[in-house]
Structure 1
Amino acid sequence: MTESQSTTDADDERLDAETQRTAVRERYGRIAEESDSCCDETASCCDGTAAGTDSRSEASTQRGYSADDLDAVAGDANLNLGCGNPTAIASLAAGDTVLDLGSGGGFDCFLAAREVGPDGHVIGVDMTPEMVEKARGNVAANDADNVEFRLGEIEHLPVADESVDVILSNCVVNLSPDKSRVFREAYRVLRPGGRVAISDVVLTADLPTDLRADPESVAGCVAGAASIPALESMLTDAGFVDVAIEPKSDSDEFIREWDDALDLSEYIVAATVEAERPGPEVTS
């Protein structure tokens, strides 16, 4: 079996799609409800020690956010559930329409709203009702009239065709049981010339069998990760060009903290994922 075959969403050793979705929805619904102090200690997509303000800020800095980023967003939007800072690679411009896949408490959406300004628009999509409720509550705290949150699955986006300039996502695509469909949907909603700027985890070595079939491991941003060749193939098959996936060598610093018994940095690494939908053809 080749590497790309062993790391696609069709892997027979992985959970079925409905079990995956249930595990993810329950986990992040629980986190949303218990997030008065970042997240519960069982959430491996964030540092379990990050309950206090100082440690929460340190965890966010490890993932690529600046002190200005942290100061700019009010409320409890920052749940430290990501593995990077997609807004840092998105090159957002005033007036852009931005879509965040798996928007959680809304932190990246509010950062994007600063960049696109009052003439821009930011849409967050999340499949967890509790997260959408939390994010909507943070809109008023951030006086963000140009941000909205919609309930929906990233495999079936509640977004019109060719209506978005930039798609963000932060450690969420790995949670999907059908990543190929996620990228096809991303292509559908992007305008010609639009682009994706994603932070996610990618697989660097085959996971132990017990992890691949563990609902908590899937929901914890581990067992659902795909390899770089598999992701490149999915994006290309969806129609994207200029695909670039770059691992972050320093991500082992926080990935090691996701499991007390196993060094997960031996199997996964955080990475940036960028690609473009081809622009309109120019006719003479």
Structure 2
Amino acid sequence: MTTQHPEEIVRRHYAQVARTRSSCCTDACGCGADYSEAALAALPEEARLGLGCGNPLALAKWTALRGATVLDLGAGAGRDCLLAAQQVGPEGRVIGIDLTPEMVALACENARKMGVTNVTFLEGDIAALPLPDASVDVVLSNCVINLVPDKARVFAEAFRVLRPGGLLLVADLVRQGALPEAWLDDPEAYARCLTGTIPEADYLTAIEAAGFVVEYVERSAGTGPVVSLQVRARRSP
């Protein structure tokens, strides 16, 4: 893998995405997420950047989110946070954490355009969350955890900030075969969510090792070395 520090690769790449309002989508990424056209139409155009690989909020369809406190790990331009804000209602709260200051600024701008007041965006490290223990009801993340070298730490932090019975809703990319040699020394391949991936079994093991009970898993039927994975897990009451 490239010798450049992963955090700097990610910060530099997504700062450019925020400045240019461009998608980072690739064929391998599979950004064709399961969002309704009506839901996306209500968002500012800049919030609809193709930065995800699924729809983690759809994993909560059996759970009422009204009044919940939701945390988004790697909020990007704010798409999932703004959609979650509609579901939690005025009595709920949404917090978005992102490593890149330019993305935080863009997400705040998108919230202002929508007049959304129950969302807060913070710059921070999702492996060291700036939140107290047992302070949120739902943690979601969309194609971000693969970008963090210490994935076990991210899941441990998610477990820490969740209240007992809280949900972890994740859409991410995992590998199902050997990666092309050309990707391994390419920082763009890391930033585009490819070379930071780990096998599905290792990913699920890391979630369970943090203390979660995995309730639901769905993977894409892709044929390449990287595929999308949707996971719903729960912190035991």
CA contact (8 A) 1:232 1:243 kept: no
What displacement does 1:63 show? Answer: 1.3
For residues 219-274 of structure 1, the C-alpha deviation after alignment (integer angstroms, 9 at most, x for no partner) is: 1111111111101111111111135332022xx4xxxxxxxxxxxx4101111012
CA contact (8 A) 2:164 2:236 kept: yes
Stretches (4+) displaced over 2 A: 242-245
Instruction: Tell me which residue corresponds to 2:142.
Output: 170
Paired-residue identity, %: 44
- 1:213 partner letter: D
Which region of structure 1 is more displaced relative to structure 2, 64-73 or 96-105? 64-73
Structure 1 unaligned runs (5+)? Answer: 1-13, 48-58, 253-264, 280-284
Of 42, 49, 52, which residue of structure 2 is paired with 1:72? 42
CA contact (8 A) 1:236 1:243 kept: no
What displacement does 1:88 show? Answer: 1.2
Which region of structure 1 is more displaced relative to structure 2, 104-113 or 239-248? 239-248
- 2:43 partner letter: V
3-state SS of 2:131 partner: coil
Structure 2 unaligned runs (5+)? Answer: none
Tell me, in whole angstroms, the C-alpha distance in 2 between the residues paired with 1:88 and 1:46: 22
What displacement does 1:126 show? Answer: 0.1
Matched, 1:275 2:233: yes
Which region of structure 1 is more displaced relative to structure 2, 213-222 or 109-118? 213-222
Instruction: Tell me which residue corresponds to 1:54.
Output: none
Tell me, in whole angstroms, the C-alpha distance in 2 between the residues paired with 1:176 and 1:244: 23
For residues 59-101 of structure 1, the C-alpha deviation after alignment (integer angstroms, 9 at most, x for no partner) is: 97x3111111111213511111111111111235210100001
Task: Point out the structure with max Rg over C-alpha.
Answer: 1
Matched, 1:230 2:216: no
Instruction: Tell me which residue corresponds to 1:86.
Output: 56
Matched, 1:32 2:18: yes
Matched, 1:104 2:90: no
Instruction: Tell me which residue corresponds to 2:87.
Output: 115
For residues 155-184 of structure 1, the C-alpha deviation after alignment (integer angstroms, 9 at most, x for no partner) is: 111111101111111110111111010000
Instruction: Tell me which residue corresponds to 1:8.
Output: none
What displacement does 1:208 show? Answer: 2.7
Tell me, in whole angstroms, the C-alpha distance in 1 between the residues paired with 2:11 and 2:71: 20
What displacement does 1:213 show? Answer: 3.4
Tell me, in whole angstroms, the C-alpha distance in 1 between the residues paired with 2:211 and 2:185: 31
3-state SS of 2:72 partner: strand
RMSD: 1.7
For residues 91-132 of structure 1, the C-alpha deviation after alignment (integer angstroms, 9 at most, x for no partner) is: 352101000010001011000011000000000000000000
TM-score, structure 1 length as denominator?
0.78
Tell me, in whole angstroms, the C-alpha distance in 2 between the residues paired with 1:98 and 1:212: 35
3-state SS of 1:125 partner: strand
Of 6, 9, 28, which residue of structure 2 is paired with 1:23? 9
For residues 17-39 of structure 1, the C-alpha deviation after alignment (integer angstroms, 9 at most, x for no partner) is: x611111110000000011xx33
What displacement does 1:207 show? Answer: 1.1
Instruction: Tell me which residue corresponds to 2:159.
Output: 187
